[in-house]
A and B are shown apart, each in its own frame.
Chain A
């Protein structure tokens, strides 16, 4: 019971932040619907909310109707369209079922790399290291997986390639994370600077590699890799047409459990957290501070690299320069939203995955640009970072942020 209470207290701020952000988003949708608002003088009902039947379909219009349409599309884009689910239940055809569940599976597909990178950020933050280089470590991991897959193609059975590629991805990402950890431990170079710079280096290393004919797609002069799907693929959880959800998602969940166990149940994890709390005290207690830094950064990079491996081999099947997108930075935001807890990372990643995936359909159906989603996600983070604001808006008592977060967020860190 106490645990449940504690959980609810912790979840209050993030949950209310999401609600507030969605409300602000709704206001923005209403205020920017100039076409409908222009009618407010002549026909207020049509300007604000209007339901009519056109060709047998119910059409909602007006500025407030726009909000219903947009958020409705977001929900059905993230979790499934009720109409399609009913059709699927009635016909029972493979294709209909696939169409019905695809929004949900795509949400999980979008969530998978966010869990990996979110955990990567969380583990490094716990040790007091600000890993801004998740995107670069992910790209290097993906590059490692791609090279391995192409080199081993046709020489060994594909399950072996799969394991080898993912191992190389993890090691490569880990190495890329180890560099800033090593530099910090040995020379004091600030990891924020080195990880950001290593992002650029990673992107250009990948670009350079994609210019080589060995990796480049056959018959293409553009910097995209060969198609990896015929060589190796992560097995799908559900075998239906156009469903991409694969066991990478399951591994992501297992990694969350593993990170949680490492951080809170092992001596090494205690050492990591101790150097995050107070480096001097940890040193005084005889812990190797430099070792903790390097370990935390290597583990962090390894998680991001593994995520990159699963993305390139499982989800996409081809390495391109925009594989990581903005995941590296989104991960920082969601790790903070999650209070640096692995379980929280999973939930925050699900939220962001649902928002991004639902936002796609919102854009397609209602023409509202995806930028609104970016806006809403930014508001969520802002509200989480300012619990006082949420408290005064909703007039509720909110728990103070956990001490360990308070301990890591200041000290000259960039505001995320």
Chain B
């Protein structure tokens, strides 16, 4: 978050300058003590905006992005912000929830998930002085045809910030690691439903495995997602379901899918399906096989013993960016630019290896670090390994 860091830095240096003009120097430099004391008070006691989060229907306890955003909100509470949050039970709730938060005096509102796009955009237009941010969304400035500079451009509102995570970069690292670890040279992946928030992980995983094969002239295979296709979602493996609990909250289905992959010789599974995936991790643990976590460091969120299967996780630092956004708003920021989490700015990351840190060879770890550096400086991109291209 280049801008945020800069603004934060500005705020911090301003605070330091004011601190430097504190009581000690005031007496000697300024004749009127009150005149310099005033900005000092203002700088340290500037009223922090009321920070709020509107969760989507995935709800709290998803151990995924809603919970991560909740952690960001809690961190903001610890940092002295007044906080509120609201939960949604269905699409009709979104606009109402946001309006309720506004009525509670919220000045910085983060909405979670692409399902709230319309409600968030409507509220941002109706309340130009309130700063809005939306998790897992990038504002498309170029309009429906994705070409900038023509008539259908849709300029970003000055009070809207999209919080987007290029998690395919983290997943690519995980894919490389998994390819280097797999004894059967087969990795499996599946998603909840085929939309970009999910398939990005699978794209990254595929790219990481391809890169590994290229480097080592190996033939590690990925099952469940054929990134070589133009639209891999036509043949990819998905939980399906209604998009509700039966898609994202059905661990028994996750176990079945893991068993199916195992039968085909897979020994590393990367589920991208919320709590459904936790069933796969459990299955892999029980069968002395391995898994790669999603969204958050699942080694911590799942806990022992089943986390013993987790090699690592492809993580989005949603909590950090949500807190960052609140801090920015505290310094007067309103919106107008998107935040894009990358490997470079630690907005997406590969979780620590935990139990496997001593088991991975030094070479493998060094290669992953090298790939990380290349992703960070842009000399390797995920999309160059995909069938649909960049």
Q: Could you list which residues of chain A lie within 8 angstroms of chain B, going by C-beta atoms?
A: 77, 99, 102, 106, 109-110, 113, 135, 199-200, 202-204, 207, 211, 217-224, 227, 241-242, 244, 311, 315-318, 320-327, 356-357, 360-361, 363-365, 369-370
- Rounded to whole angstroms, the CA-CA distance of A219 and B91 in the bound complex is 20
CA distance A72 to B302 in the complex (A): 37
Q: Does B39 contact A (CB under 8 A)?
A: no
Across the interface, which residues of B come within 8 angstroms of A321, CB to CB? 115, 193, 242-243
A360–B195 CB distance below 8 A: no
What are 16 contact pairs spanning A and B, CB under 8 A? A135-B242, A200-B246, A203-B241, A203-B243, A203-B244, A207-B193, A217-B117, A219-B142, A222-B115, A222-B195, A222-B196, A316-B94, A360-B86, A360-B93, A364-B84, A364-B104
Report how far A321 CA is from B195 CA in the complex, Å. Answer: 12
| Chain A residues with CB under 8 A of B152 | 218
Inter-chain contact B92/A364, CB cutoff 8 Å: no
Tell me whether B100 is interfacial, beta carbon within 8 Å: yes
Does B244 lie within 8 Å of A322, measured CB to CB? yes
- What 1/0 flags go to B80-94 for Cβ under 8 Å of A? 000011110111111
Query: Does A241 lie within 8 Å of B243, measured CB to CB?
Result: no
Residue of A nearest to B144 (CB): A218
Q: Judging by beta carbons under 8 Å apart, are B90 and A200 in contact?
A: no
Does residue B166 face the partner (Cβ distance < 8 Å to A)?
no
Q: Classify the secondary structure of B's interface with A.
A: loop
**Do B117 and A222 touch (CB < 8 A)?**
yes
Contact B86 A364 (CB under 8 A): yes
Task: Quote the shortest CB–CB distance from B176 to chain A (angstroms).
Answer: 26
Question: Using an 8 Å CB-CB cutoff, how does the interface string of B217-252 with A read, 1 for contact, 0 for none?
Answer: 000000000000000000000001111101000000
Asked if A324 and B143 sit within 8 Å, CB to CB, the answer is: no
Answer whether residue B97 sits at the interface, using C-beta atoms and an 8 A cutoff.
yes
Do residues B92 and A109 form an inter-chain contact, with CB atoms below 8 A? yes
Known contacts A109-B96, A203-B242; is A224 also within 8 Å of B57 by CB?
A: no
A322 CA to B93 CA in the complex, in Å?
Answer: 10
Q: Which residues of the other chain, A, contact B240 by a CB distance below 8 angstroms?
A: 200, 204
Q: How far is the CB of B224 from chain A (nearest CB, A)?
A: 18
Task: Flag if B114 contacts A322 (CB, 8 Å).
Answer: no
Minimum CB–CB distance for B116 against chain A, Å: 9
Encode contact with A along B54-75: 1 for CB under 8 Å, 0 otherwise: 0011001000000000000000
Residue of A nearest to B141 (CB): A219
- Of B87, B117, B154, the residue contacting A370 (CB under 8 A) is B87
Given contacts A219-B154, A360-B86, A369-B87, 14 further A-B contacts (CB under 8 A): A102-B103, A109-B92, A200-B246, A203-B241, A204-B240, A218-B152, A222-B115, A224-B118, A244-B96, A316-B118, A318-B118, A363-B87, A364-B85, A369-B60
